[in-house]
Amino acid sequence: MSYTLLLRHCGQLLTLAGPTAARPLAGPAQASWAVIPDGYVACSGARIVALGPMAELDETQVTPATRVVDAAGRVVLPGLVECHTHLVFGGNRAAEFQRKLQGETYLDILASGGGILSTVRATRAAPEAELLDNALHHLTGFRRYGVTTLEAKSGYGLEAETELRLLRVAREAGRRQPVRVVPTFLGAHVPGPEYRGRPAEYLQMLVQDVLPQLNPVEVPFVDIFCEEGAFSVAESRDFLTRAQQLGFGLKIHAEQLHELGGCEMAAALGAVSLDHADYLTPEAAARIADQTQGHTVAVLLPLVPLFLRQERYAPGRAFIDAGLPVAVSTDFNPGSCPSKNLWLALSMACLKMGLTPREALAAVTINAAWAIGQQRECGSLAPGKRADLLVLDVATAEEIPYWLGENPVRHVIIGGELLEDKA
């Protein structure tokens, strides 16, 4: 099969292909994926068909029709997988940023009717076309940072009709541009304002009025925020159990601000990911790794404590040592992380959570793909996977977290198409 696209002279080809493709990379395997010096990647249409050292390139498959991109000794790796965002929302919370700088906490602001609830007001009031424009604007930003697959949660409608609208917008945004969008239903973000003080009744409404209208093929995951001021562990368990019975994969926001036990509860149900986990202990992480046989991923969000001015960061180093696979994401949203810079999140995971550069790279690629059920499509370089690739303006993997806050992306290739070209 002749090549339609060839990336050659990749100084370091970071394959992110570890010792097993059967589960997320955990423990020592999170860092032990293959790097090919002076490598190439060949694609046919939207798929990778071959990769290896330049010395083994099959020149007979390179034709005048092959688009050749010379990486000239730079690092090449799979497109980033952003596995936790709240992509679709109206307005912004710049005013609350000021309140936070004056000392109010995240939960204080939420309890006063602000926080998530202020974005809910702005989102309900926004026309669908405006929500779509905003989502497309943010997706363009993500793509420039090298994100090629992105999870997008609902959760700023908190009523049946608006939640369905947000999922529609996420799917439409995915169709209108090249970054692949994987929608998640987070109607259980906090109880809707009409259900203040009645969280169980609110969840009952979601089970009766919204879940039956969703198709798990189109919206594969259901998520819930298990926290003081949101939903208890028992409420979260009941809700996730109902979602599971309807065929949805499960996710949870848990142990963000308190150690309630949400992560262990969701892991016991077979959740694909446990997100935030700043208050998850290494002991609980070891129990989870054991119980799930390394199939549940902890999604760490280091830009959130930074932006909320909190000292506590998830003990990522201890999680990896305990055998729990770790992914890293921005948590892009208008309240706790208005940043799309997944490279900065990667650096912060090294600086504040103790990940090594290689572990952190697996956390934003293959383990992130596992966290959204996309491991067969993306997250590592192997024949048959989507041709989602990045050329970076660095010469070694270790340089990636070092250039703090910089966007190292030179080229973005999605589905075999060269999109960003800073050359």
Contacts to Fe ion by CB under 5 A: 331
Assess contact for 183 and 154: CB atoms under 8 A: yes
Residue among 12 and 330 whose Cβ is closer to ligand NIG:
330
Amino acid letter for position 231: F
How far CA 143 is from CA of 101, 148, 411, in Å, comes to 30, 6, 10
Q: Binding partner of residue 39 among Fe ion, ligand NIG, none, CB under 5 to 8 Å per kind?
A: none
Minimum separation from the CB atom of position 404 to ligand NIG (A) = 22
Whole-angstrom Cα distance, residue 283 to residue 270?
19
User: What, of ligand NIG, Fe ion, none, does residue 294 touch, CB below 5 to 8 Å by kind?
Assistant: none
* Binder of residue 115, out of ligand NIG, Fe ion, none (CB less than 5 to 8 A by kind): ligand NIG
**Least distance to ligand NIG from the beta carbon of 101, Å?**
16
Rg of the chain over all Cα atoms, to the nearest angstrom: 21
- Among residues 77 and 260, whose Cβ is nearest to Fe ion? 260
Instruction: Count other Cβ atoms within 10 Å, centred on residue 28.
Output: 13
- Are the beta carbons of 61 and 1 closer than 8 angstroms? yes
If contact means CB under 5 to 8 A according to the sort of partner, which of Fe ion, ligand NIG, none does residue 187 touch? Answer: none
Sequence-separated (6 or more) residues with CB below 8 Å from residue 20: 29
Minimum Å distance from CB 314 to ligand NIG?
13
Shortest CB 110 distance to ligand NIG, Å: 8
What CA–CA distance (Å, rounded) separates 230 from 340? 25
Strands 5-14 and 75-78, bridge-based pairing: parallel
**Residue 4 vs 339, nearer CB to Fe ion:** 339
Q: Which residue is nearest to ligand NIG (CB)?
A: 335
Return the one option of ligand NIG, Fe ion, none that residue 116 interacts with (CB less than 5 to 8 A, by type).
ligand NIG
Q: How far is the CB of 36 from Fe ion (least distance, A)?
A: 35
18 interacts with, out of ligand NIG, Fe ion, none, CB within 5 to 8 A per kind: none
- Residue with Cβ nearer ligand NIG (116 or 158): 116
Residue 306 C-beta: closest distance to ligand NIG, Å: 12
Which partner from the list Fe ion, ligand NIG, none does 359 bind, CB cut-off 5 to 8 Å by kind?
A: none
> Distance between CA 365 and CA 359 in Å, rounded?
10
Whichever of 145 and 307 has its CB closer to ligand NIG, that residue is 307
**Partner in contact with 165, chosen from ligand NIG, Fe ion, none, beta carbon below 5 to 8 Å by kind:** none
Encoded tokens for 216? 């798990």
Identify the burial level of 262 via C-beta atoms within 10 angstroms of its C-beta, where 0-12 means exposed, 13-18 middle and 19 or more buried. buried
Give the torsion through C-alpha atoms of 144, 149, 155, 160, to 10 deg: 120
* Residue 83: HSE in the Cβ half-sphere, 13 Å Cα cutoff: 35
Nearer to ligand NIG, 39 or 114 (CB): 114
Q: State in angstroms the smallest separation of the CB of 89 from Fe ion.
A: 12
Give the whole-angstrom CA distance, residue 352 versus residue 151.
Answer: 24
In this complex, which beta carbon is closest to Fe ion, that of residue 214 or of residue 226? 226
Q: Residue 90 or 401: which CB sits closer to ligand NIG?
A: 90
User: Judged by CB, which is closer to ligand NIG: 116, or 371?
Assistant: 116
Q: How far is the CB of 58 from Fe ion (least distance, A)?
A: 45
At its nearest, how many Å lie between ligand NIG and the CB of residue 214? Answer: 20
Nearest residue relative to Fe ion (C-beta): 331
Q: Which does 96 bind (CB under 5 to 8 A by kind): Fe ion, ligand NIG, none?
A: none
* Euclidean distance between CA atoms 409 and 390, whole angstroms: 7
Which residues lie closer than 8 Å to 364 by C-beta, 6 or more apart? 80, 81, 82, 327, 328, 329, 342, 345, 346
Contact set with ligand NIG (CB under 6 A): 86, 115-116, 119, 225, 253, 256, 304, 331, 333-336
Q: Are residues 248 and 277 in contact, defined by beta-carbon separation less than 8 angstroms? A: no
CB nearer to Fe ion: pick between 141 and 415: 141
Total H helices, total E strands in the chain: 15, 16
Q: Output the smallest distance, CB 334 to ligand NIG, in A.
A: 6
